[in-house]
Structure 1
């Protein structure tokens, strides 16, 4: 079992990684949203491995890797990057990161990379003092998969929501209660929407979200969009649900479309 710190500015991605790490028997002892916080936490000790997002507010993940490795050359760091950031992974590897995971990731991929790094006992896995040109090219270009990945598409009757995207507006209507049986669909949908970075988001909640984790996902999503200076609005049709949402989010909660000024 490893003590892990997750460094990512997205609450949704932190939650997702935490669930994967803990399902594999590890323990998440610290979460950080930006580089300085991560460095301070690592200085306190008790952290065996770090998952580090490249895109962070303020000090980015690459600079954070450099400073942590200067502090502790044996620090074990796995980079988390999006597809368009893969060329930046080379710099992180050169600075001492041990491996990388590309978003969107699967549970299996995260566990596979984590196991490989821990099995190596902190030794270089794909990293080295001077990565070869072949390795650099491998990280920049997509790696061919041995098996064809297939999308798992649930039946429409199982979905608690409907999603439509037109122009720059992504509209998500939640028309059924969120339950243990369908919350994974909501998680996947909200996580996917965060890749649609230039969109305006409108969440229409026809049925109040009474599920604790469902509310947590909603709060994480709105907070993440706001942190990225994005635009998000919520229409709560139930008067009893409108009041707590308005108390939580203030100006972005509406009773109907007619109230939306943006």
Structure 2
């Protein structure tokens, strides 16, 4: 009986095994690379191993413009390979964008009313910060505005946000509670537009969030409104169900409630939830 066929089969088996080893190794490398790409690394680089990497688009209320730029940079530093792009506008404009199917991954509004109206389009919201109103006036307070009652002076050019805008609703709530009638020279689409009118001298006074006035201390002064007369603004954050990066969006929204994020928000003047 010849041993040639047996030797040939053995040689073929050895050759096949030799070919499969590098393929198996490549498969392991690819799997490891994908896992690192999606989950981050745990090599001490500072990234969060539980946060998948992605290019995220976050719709955020105008009053978060400055602080979220800082927060986004901090999140990207913590999660190399992740990029967070913000689109800032009045909360009512953001709601319209969501309903129209604008491509985005998360939403942060300046009130719970707007967020609640989008429950079919969002995950469960979490309040990440709170805020209060102040009266913004020109630097040096040239019109000598002292309190909320002074806004009723017909000689004073007052600008407010439109009533469908969260800060406009809060302002309306404050004025109605004190039975103060104000005839604004204009009603703006977001809080930054109100602040801009005062900065440019196109208005003598306007109701804005405390944090917005704090971004322009060299151009406007802020007149505090007593807590008993004020309104508290809540900022809920939620993922969008239409997001193509669900896990990454969830990780970012969760991060907004971490001590690191809260420290950034607190530094900008926001209150804890």
TM-score by shorter chain over 0.5: no
TM-score for both structures, normalised by structure 1: 0.30
TM-score for both structures, normalised by structure 2: 0.29
Task: Pick 1 or 2: higher relative contact order, CA cutoff 8 A, min separation 6.
Answer: 2
Larger Rg: 2
